[in-house]
A and B are shown apart, each in its own frame.
Chain A
């Protein structure tokens, strides 16, 4: 099915562990984005990518790493998870950077 998927949908991990959240889109959109959603903060942009091998920092990039070796995939890695990274993470894709974004269903991450 065409669309944008995220995995896992739910994840519990311990402080200090490395965690990778996956995002896959089937539209061949050039742009992909990672957001985190927290109460009181709305959506905050972590990283985005304009194409394979091109990534840029967003508003809150510290503690996160991204890569984009293929157009359709945009994994987000927490190198050493902290409790402050407990959040709901959304991936999105778009044809243009300022254009309509299509969102995945989200990953709820809990860091204990």
Chain B
């Protein structure tokens, strides 16, 4: 079945760039998502990329998609303490009516 892998922890200094990586298994995924979970809250959609795109930029966020390697990354420029959160990668399975498959999440800690 589908699987989404992420590293569990990332620590960066305030002002540096953060890169959170994700690998997925379903090469037919149509959409890939990044969700952010702040402490004590539910997940919120941060950004997404359609599978026919290589890159998507949205202010400080850049999403890169390498379909050949089934690799997705989220770059946060000028990382701030408010970016400290858990970031989840998720893919839309190709196999018909099945829900999103989420990774376990990467906990980003920003050091002032």
Query: Taking beta carbons and an 8 Å cutoff, which residues of A are in contact with B?
Result: 31, 33, 40-43, 45, 48, 50, 58, 90, 92, 97-106
Contact = CB atoms under 8 A, between A and B. Distances in A.
B33 interface: yes
Contact of A42 (B33, B93, B103): B103
By DSSP majority rule, is chain B's interface helix, strand, loop, or mixed? Answer: loop
Contacts of A41: 104
A105 B42 contact: yes
A43 B105 contact: yes
Chain A to chain B: the 8 pairs with minimum beta-carbon distance, closest first: A42-B104, A103-B42, A98-B92, A103-B43, A97-B97, A43-B102, A105-B42, A42-B105
Nearest to A90: B42
Contact of A106 (B42, B48, B92, B99): B42
